[in-house]
Structure 1
Protein backbone atom coordinates (compact mmCIF):
# COMPACT_ATOMS: atom_id res chain seq x y z
CA UNK A 1 0.00 0.00 0.00
CA UNK A 2 1.45 3.38 -0.98
CA UNK A 3 1.99 6.24 1.46
CA UNK A 4 -0.81 8.27 -0.13
CA UNK A 5 -3.23 5.32 0.26
CA UNK A 6 -2.27 4.99 3.94
CA UNK A 7 -2.70 8.72 4.50
CA UNK A 8 -6.06 8.73 2.69
CA UNK A 9 -7.29 5.80 4.81
CA UNK A 10 -6.04 7.38 8.02
CA UNK A 11 -7.63 10.71 7.08
CA UNK A 12 -10.98 9.09 6.27
CA UNK A 13 -11.12 7.34 9.64
CA UNK A 14 -9.70 10.07 11.89
CA UNK A 15 -10.79 13.35 10.35
CA UNK A 16 -14.25 14.52 9.39
CA UNK A 17 -14.47 14.95 5.63
CA UNK A 18 -15.43 18.18 4.01
CA UNK A 19 -17.26 18.98 0.83
CA UNK A 20 -20.83 18.32 -0.23
CA UNK A 21 -20.95 14.81 1.27
CA UNK A 22 -19.71 16.07 4.63
CA UNK A 23 -22.43 18.69 4.90
CA UNK A 24 -25.00 15.97 4.41
CA UNK A 25 -23.46 13.55 6.92
CA UNK A 26 -22.30 16.11 9.43
CA UNK A 27 -24.43 18.71 11.15
CA UNK A 28 -23.56 22.33 10.39
CA UNK A 29 -22.51 22.77 14.03
CA UNK A 30 -20.04 19.89 13.88
CA UNK A 31 -18.67 21.18 10.59
CA UNK A 32 -18.20 24.71 12.00
CA UNK A 33 -16.63 23.35 15.19
CA UNK A 34 -14.16 21.25 13.21
CA UNK A 35 -13.30 24.21 10.97
CA UNK A 36 -12.76 26.48 14.00
CA UNK A 37 -10.56 23.85 15.68
CA UNK A 38 -8.50 23.55 12.50
CA UNK A 39 -8.25 27.35 12.48
CA UNK A 40 -7.11 27.38 16.12
CA UNK A 41 -4.28 25.01 15.26
CA UNK A 42 -3.39 27.04 12.20
CA UNK A 43 -3.47 30.29 14.19
CA UNK A 44 -1.08 28.86 16.75
CA UNK A 45 1.39 27.66 14.12
CA UNK A 46 1.10 30.81 11.98
CA UNK A 47 1.65 33.08 14.99
CA UNK A 48 4.81 31.19 15.91
CA UNK A 49 6.04 31.49 12.33
CA UNK A 50 5.23 35.21 12.16
CA UNK A 51 6.92 35.86 15.50
CA UNK A 52 10.01 33.94 14.43
CA UNK A 53 10.05 36.03 11.24
CA UNK A 54 9.68 39.42 12.91
CA UNK A 55 11.79 39.12 16.08
CA UNK A 56 15.23 38.99 14.45
CA UNK A 57 14.35 41.68 11.92
CA UNK A 58 12.65 44.21 14.19
CA UNK A 59 14.43 43.21 17.41
CA UNK A 60 11.40 44.32 19.41
CA UNK A 61 8.38 42.80 21.06
CA UNK A 62 5.04 42.68 19.28
CA UNK A 63 2.89 45.74 20.05
CA UNK A 64 0.77 43.58 22.35
CA UNK A 65 3.38 44.29 25.06
CA UNK A 66 2.43 47.96 24.70
CA UNK A 67 -1.24 47.03 25.02
CA UNK A 68 -0.51 45.06 28.21
CA UNK A 69 1.55 47.87 29.69
CA UNK A 70 -0.92 50.61 28.80
CA UNK A 71 -4.19 48.91 29.78
CA UNK A 72 -3.17 46.42 32.49
CA UNK A 73 -0.05 47.48 34.38
CA UNK A 74 0.56 51.12 33.42
CA UNK A 75 4.34 50.75 33.22
CA UNK A 76 7.04 50.12 30.59
CA UNK A 77 6.25 47.57 27.83
CA UNK A 78 9.85 46.27 28.02
CA UNK A 79 9.01 44.95 31.50
CA UNK A 80 6.43 42.53 30.06
CA UNK A 81 7.97 40.40 27.29
CA UNK A 82 6.18 37.20 28.34
CA UNK A 83 2.78 38.87 28.71
CA UNK A 84 3.26 40.61 25.36
CA UNK A 85 4.18 37.39 23.57
CA UNK A 86 1.35 35.46 25.26
CA UNK A 87 -1.17 38.12 24.29
CA UNK A 88 0.15 38.14 20.72
CA UNK A 89 -0.21 34.35 20.58
CA UNK A 90 -3.77 34.65 21.91
CA UNK A 91 -4.64 37.21 19.20
CA UNK A 92 -3.15 34.94 16.53
CA UNK A 93 -4.99 31.84 17.72
CA UNK A 94 -8.32 33.67 17.86
CA UNK A 95 -7.80 35.17 14.40
CA UNK A 96 -6.93 31.67 13.15
CA UNK A 97 -10.18 30.23 14.52
CA UNK A 98 -12.13 32.97 12.75
CA UNK A 99 -10.25 32.28 9.50
CA UNK A 100 -10.95 28.55 9.79
CA UNK A 101 -14.67 29.20 10.16
CA UNK A 102 -14.72 31.73 7.30
CA UNK A 103 -12.74 29.39 5.07
CA UNK A 104 -15.25 26.59 5.69
CA UNK A 105 -18.09 28.92 4.71
CA UNK A 106 -16.36 29.96 1.48
CA UNK A 107 -16.98 26.73 -0.38
CA UNK A 108 -18.51 28.09 -3.56
CA UNK A 109 -15.42 28.25 -5.77
CA UNK A 110 -14.62 24.58 -6.29
CA UNK A 111 -12.53 25.12 -9.42
CA UNK A 112 -9.63 26.16 -7.20
CA UNK A 113 -8.05 23.54 -4.98
CA UNK A 114 -8.27 24.22 -1.23
CA UNK A 115 -4.49 24.56 -0.95
CA UNK A 116 -4.45 27.41 -3.48
CA UNK A 117 -7.59 28.96 -1.99
CA UNK A 118 -5.89 28.84 1.39
CA UNK A 119 -2.86 30.73 0.13
CA UNK A 120 -4.96 33.36 -1.65
CA UNK A 121 -7.47 33.94 1.14
CA UNK A 122 -4.80 33.59 3.82
CA UNK A 123 -2.71 36.36 2.30
CA UNK A 124 -5.79 38.59 1.92
CA UNK A 125 -6.79 37.85 5.53
CA UNK A 126 -3.26 38.52 6.80
CA UNK A 127 -3.15 41.88 5.05
CA UNK A 128 -6.62 42.78 6.36
CA UNK A 129 -5.43 41.98 9.88
CA UNK A 130 -2.34 44.09 9.24
CA UNK A 131 -4.42 47.06 8.08
CA UNK A 132 -6.67 46.70 11.15
CA UNK A 133 -3.65 46.36 13.41
CA UNK A 134 -1.78 49.36 12.03
CA UNK A 135 -4.77 51.70 11.73
CA UNK A 136 -6.95 50.74 14.69
CA UNK A 137 -4.79 48.94 17.24
CA UNK A 138 -1.55 50.89 16.82
CA UNK A 139 -2.69 54.37 15.79
CA UNK A 140 -6.03 54.71 17.55
CA UNK A 141 -5.82 52.43 20.57
CA UNK A 142 -2.11 52.61 21.47
CA UNK A 143 -1.15 55.95 19.81
CA UNK A 144 1.87 54.32 18.12
CA UNK A 145 3.12 55.68 14.79
CA UNK A 146 5.47 53.31 12.99
CA UNK A 147 8.20 54.56 10.68
CA UNK A 148 7.95 53.52 7.05
CA UNK A 149 10.49 50.71 7.45
CA UNK A 150 8.82 49.42 10.61
CA UNK A 151 5.41 49.61 8.96
CA UNK A 152 6.64 47.65 5.93
CA UNK A 153 7.99 44.93 8.24
CA UNK A 154 4.75 44.97 10.26
CA UNK A 155 2.82 44.29 7.04
CA UNK A 156 5.37 41.68 5.89
CA UNK A 157 4.99 39.84 9.21
CA UNK A 158 1.23 39.71 8.81
CA UNK A 159 1.58 38.53 5.23
CA UNK A 160 3.78 35.69 6.53
CA UNK A 161 1.07 34.98 9.14
CA UNK A 162 -1.66 34.91 6.48
CA UNK A 163 0.28 32.68 4.11
CA UNK A 164 1.13 30.27 6.93
CA UNK A 165 -2.46 30.27 8.15
CA UNK A 166 -3.88 29.69 4.66
CA UNK A 167 -1.34 26.98 3.87
CA UNK A 168 -2.21 25.10 7.07
CA UNK A 169 -5.99 25.37 6.68
CA UNK A 170 -5.99 24.76 2.92
CA UNK A 171 -3.78 21.71 3.16
CA UNK A 172 -6.08 20.19 5.77
CA UNK A 173 -9.27 20.80 3.81
CA UNK A 174 -10.53 17.96 1.69
CA UNK A 175 -11.25 18.99 -1.87
CA UNK A 176 -13.47 17.31 -4.38
CA UNK A 177 -12.14 13.84 -5.07
CA UNK A 178 -10.53 13.91 -8.50
CA UNK A 179 -8.39 10.89 -9.38
CA UNK A 180 -6.69 12.80 -12.19
CA UNK A 181 -5.19 15.21 -9.66
CA UNK A 182 -3.97 12.61 -7.17
CA UNK A 183 -0.24 12.34 -6.79
CA UNK A 184 1.55 9.30 -5.51
CA UNK A 185 4.90 9.57 -3.91
CA UNK A 186 7.03 6.47 -4.17
CA UNK A 187 8.95 5.98 -0.97
CA UNK A 188 10.77 2.93 -2.29
CA UNK A 189 8.31 0.35 -0.93
Structure 2
Protein backbone atom coordinates (compact mmCIF):
# COMPACT_ATOMS: atom_id res chain seq x y z
CA UNK A 1 0.00 0.00 0.00
CA UNK A 2 1.36 3.38 -0.97
CA UNK A 3 1.54 6.41 1.29
CA UNK A 4 -1.21 8.15 -0.69
CA UNK A 5 -3.51 5.14 -0.27
CA UNK A 6 -2.88 5.14 3.49
CA UNK A 7 -3.61 8.87 3.71
CA UNK A 8 -6.82 8.45 1.72
CA UNK A 9 -7.97 5.67 4.04
CA UNK A 10 -7.10 7.67 7.13
CA UNK A 11 -9.03 10.70 5.82
CA UNK A 12 -12.04 8.56 4.96
CA UNK A 13 -12.07 7.06 8.48
CA UNK A 14 -12.10 10.40 10.30
CA UNK A 15 -15.37 10.72 12.10
CA UNK A 16 -16.55 7.22 11.18
CA UNK A 17 -18.25 5.27 13.92
CA UNK A 18 -17.82 1.68 14.96
CA UNK A 19 -20.31 -0.06 12.66
CA UNK A 20 -20.15 -3.36 14.56
CA UNK A 21 -21.13 -1.79 17.88
CA UNK A 22 -18.12 -3.34 19.58
CA UNK A 23 -16.47 -1.28 22.26
CA UNK A 24 -12.82 -0.31 22.08
CA UNK A 25 -12.11 -2.73 24.95
CA UNK A 26 -13.71 -5.63 23.08
CA UNK A 27 -11.78 -4.73 19.98
CA UNK A 28 -8.50 -4.62 21.93
CA UNK A 29 -9.32 -7.94 23.62
CA UNK A 30 -9.99 -9.57 20.24
CA UNK A 31 -6.78 -8.06 18.91
CA UNK A 32 -4.81 -9.44 21.88
CA UNK A 33 -6.41 -12.87 21.49
CA UNK A 34 -5.49 -13.00 17.79
CA UNK A 35 -1.92 -11.95 18.63
CA UNK A 36 -1.68 -14.68 21.30
CA UNK A 37 -2.94 -17.36 18.91
CA UNK A 38 -0.47 -16.21 16.23
CA UNK A 39 2.30 -16.29 18.84
CA UNK A 40 1.45 -19.83 19.97
CA UNK A 41 1.34 -21.07 16.38
CA UNK A 42 4.55 -19.26 15.51
CA UNK A 43 6.31 -20.57 18.63
CA UNK A 44 5.46 -24.17 17.75
CA UNK A 45 6.48 -23.85 14.10
CA UNK A 46 9.67 -21.86 14.80
CA UNK A 47 10.80 -24.22 17.57
CA UNK A 48 10.32 -27.25 15.33
CA UNK A 49 12.28 -25.54 12.54
CA UNK A 50 15.07 -24.50 14.92
CA UNK A 51 15.27 -27.99 16.43
CA UNK A 52 15.38 -29.59 12.98
CA UNK A 53 18.17 -27.16 12.06
CA UNK A 54 20.31 -27.75 15.14
CA UNK A 55 19.96 -31.51 15.79
CA UNK A 56 21.90 -32.80 12.76
CA UNK A 57 24.58 -30.11 13.06
CA UNK A 58 25.24 -30.22 16.81
CA UNK A 59 24.26 -33.88 17.25
CA UNK A 60 22.98 -33.10 20.73
CA UNK A 61 19.74 -32.28 22.45
CA UNK A 62 18.85 -28.71 23.36
CA UNK A 63 20.22 -27.62 26.76
CA UNK A 64 16.75 -27.84 28.28
CA UNK A 65 17.57 -31.45 29.19
CA UNK A 66 20.46 -30.05 31.25
CA UNK A 67 18.02 -27.69 32.99
CA UNK A 68 15.74 -30.62 33.89
CA UNK A 69 18.68 -32.68 35.05
CA UNK A 70 20.14 -29.88 37.19
CA UNK A 71 16.97 -28.57 38.83
CA UNK A 72 14.56 -31.53 38.86
CA UNK A 73 15.97 -35.04 38.51
CA UNK A 74 19.66 -34.86 39.36
CA UNK A 75 20.35 -37.51 36.70
CA UNK A 76 22.44 -37.26 33.57
CA UNK A 77 20.90 -34.95 30.92
CA UNK A 78 21.10 -37.76 28.36
CA UNK A 79 18.57 -39.67 30.50
CA UNK A 80 15.91 -37.07 29.62
CA UNK A 81 15.73 -36.62 25.85
CA UNK A 82 11.93 -36.45 25.70
CA UNK A 83 11.59 -34.06 28.64
CA UNK A 84 14.37 -31.93 27.13
CA UNK A 85 12.54 -31.67 23.81
CA UNK A 86 9.21 -30.95 25.51
CA UNK A 87 10.78 -28.19 27.62
CA UNK A 88 12.43 -26.78 24.50
CA UNK A 89 9.03 -26.68 22.77
CA UNK A 90 7.44 -25.01 25.82
CA UNK A 91 10.21 -22.37 25.88
CA UNK A 92 9.73 -21.81 22.15
CA UNK A 93 5.97 -21.39 22.53
CA UNK A 94 6.49 -18.91 25.36
CA UNK A 95 8.92 -16.97 23.16
CA UNK A 96 6.34 -17.01 20.37
CA UNK A 97 3.62 -15.62 22.62
CA UNK A 98 5.94 -12.86 23.85
CA UNK A 99 7.02 -12.01 20.31
CA UNK A 100 3.44 -12.07 19.00
CA UNK A 101 2.30 -9.72 21.76
CA UNK A 102 5.23 -7.35 21.31
CA UNK A 103 4.78 -7.32 17.54
CA UNK A 104 1.09 -6.53 17.86
CA UNK A 105 1.43 -3.90 20.58
CA UNK A 106 4.68 -2.06 19.97
CA UNK A 107 5.53 -2.33 16.30
CA UNK A 108 5.36 1.37 15.49
CA UNK A 109 7.30 1.47 12.21
CA UNK A 110 4.67 0.72 9.63
CA UNK A 111 6.59 2.02 6.63
CA UNK A 112 7.20 -1.54 5.44
CA UNK A 113 4.80 -4.44 5.19
CA UNK A 114 4.26 -6.79 8.17
CA UNK A 115 6.06 -9.69 6.45
CA UNK A 116 9.27 -7.67 6.22
CA UNK A 117 8.81 -6.21 9.71
CA UNK A 118 8.34 -9.75 11.00
CA UNK A 119 11.63 -10.87 9.50
CA UNK A 120 13.53 -7.87 10.87
CA UNK A 121 12.04 -7.95 14.38
CA UNK A 122 12.08 -11.76 14.46
CA UNK A 123 15.82 -11.74 13.73
CA UNK A 124 16.42 -9.20 16.50
CA UNK A 125 14.22 -11.17 18.91
CA UNK A 126 15.97 -14.47 18.07
CA UNK A 127 19.41 -12.98 18.66
CA UNK A 128 18.22 -11.39 21.91
CA UNK A 129 17.00 -14.80 23.08
CA UNK A 130 20.30 -16.31 22.02
CA UNK A 131 22.28 -13.77 24.04
CA UNK A 132 20.02 -14.35 27.06
CA UNK A 133 20.30 -18.11 26.61
CA UNK A 134 24.07 -18.20 26.30
CA UNK A 135 24.85 -15.68 29.03
CA UNK A 136 22.13 -16.30 31.64
CA UNK A 137 20.73 -19.78 31.06
CA UNK A 138 23.87 -21.61 30.03
CA UNK A 139 26.65 -19.78 31.85
CA UNK A 140 24.90 -18.62 35.02
CA UNK A 141 22.17 -21.19 35.67
CA UNK A 142 23.67 -24.33 34.17
CA UNK A 143 27.40 -23.54 34.35
CA UNK A 144 27.86 -24.59 30.71
CA UNK A 145 30.59 -22.99 28.61
CA UNK A 146 30.20 -23.66 24.92
CA UNK A 147 33.16 -24.02 22.59
CA UNK A 148 33.35 -21.25 19.98
CA UNK A 149 31.96 -23.46 17.19
CA UNK A 150 29.09 -24.66 19.41
CA UNK A 151 28.33 -21.09 20.44
CA UNK A 152 28.22 -19.98 16.80
CA UNK A 153 25.73 -22.77 16.02
CA UNK A 154 23.72 -21.93 19.15
CA UNK A 155 23.38 -18.35 17.86
CA UNK A 156 22.65 -19.55 14.31
CA UNK A 157 19.87 -21.83 15.58
CA UNK A 158 18.27 -18.94 17.48
CA UNK A 159 18.54 -16.73 14.40
CA UNK A 160 16.68 -19.45 12.46
CA UNK A 161 14.08 -19.49 15.27
CA UNK A 162 13.68 -15.70 15.13
CA UNK A 163 13.40 -15.57 11.35
CA UNK A 164 10.83 -18.39 11.39
CA UNK A 165 8.90 -16.71 14.20
CA UNK A 166 8.89 -13.36 12.45
CA UNK A 167 7.93 -14.87 9.10
CA UNK A 168 4.97 -16.68 10.67
CA UNK A 169 3.70 -13.70 12.68
CA UNK A 170 4.35 -11.16 9.94
CA UNK A 171 2.66 -13.21 7.24
CA UNK A 172 -0.44 -13.60 9.41
CA UNK A 173 -0.70 -9.97 10.51
CA UNK A 174 -3.00 -7.49 8.83
CA UNK A 175 -1.36 -4.63 6.92
CA UNK A 176 -2.35 -2.19 9.66
CA UNK A 177 -2.50 -3.65 13.13
CA UNK A 178 -4.59 -1.11 15.04
CA UNK A 179 -7.66 -2.74 16.64
CA UNK A 180 -9.61 0.51 16.53
CA UNK A 181 -9.05 1.19 12.85
CA UNK A 182 -11.61 0.21 10.26
CA UNK A 183 -10.59 -0.86 6.81
CA UNK A 184 -12.21 0.60 3.77
CA UNK A 185 -10.99 -0.94 0.59
CA UNK A 186 -11.13 1.02 -2.61
CA UNK A 187 -11.42 -1.35 -5.54
CA UNK A 188 -11.13 1.52 -7.99
CA UNK A 189 -14.84 1.62 -8.95
The interval holding the TM-score normalised by the smaller chain is: 0.7 to 0.9
Per the alignment, do residues 24 and 110 of structure 1 end up closer, same or farther by CA in structure 2, a change over 3 Å counting? farther
Relative to structure 1, the CA distance from residue 178 to residue 30 in structure 2 (aligned partners, 3 Å threshold; closer, same or farther) is closer
Q: Equivalent residue for 1:71?
A: 71
Spell out, residue by residue over 1:26-74, the C-alpha distance to the aligned partner (whole angstroms, 9 max, x if none): 5222211210111010000000000000000000000000000111100
- Paired residue total: 160
**Where does the alignment leave 5 or more consecutive residues of structure 2 unmatched?**
1-17, 177-182
* Partner residue, 1:108: 108
Two-structure CA RMSD over aligned residues (Å): 2.1
Determine the structure 2 residue equivalent to 1:129: 129
Bigger shift: residues 102-111 or 145-154 = 102-111
TM-score computed with the length of structure 1 as normaliser: 0.80
Distance 1:107 1:143, change over 3 A: closer
Question: Normalising to structure 2: TM-score of the pair?
Answer: 0.80
Give the superposition deviation at 1:107.
3.8
Give runs of ≥4 in structure 1 deviating > 3 Å.
21-26, 176-180
Q: Distance in 1 between matches of 2:57 and 2:100?
A: 29
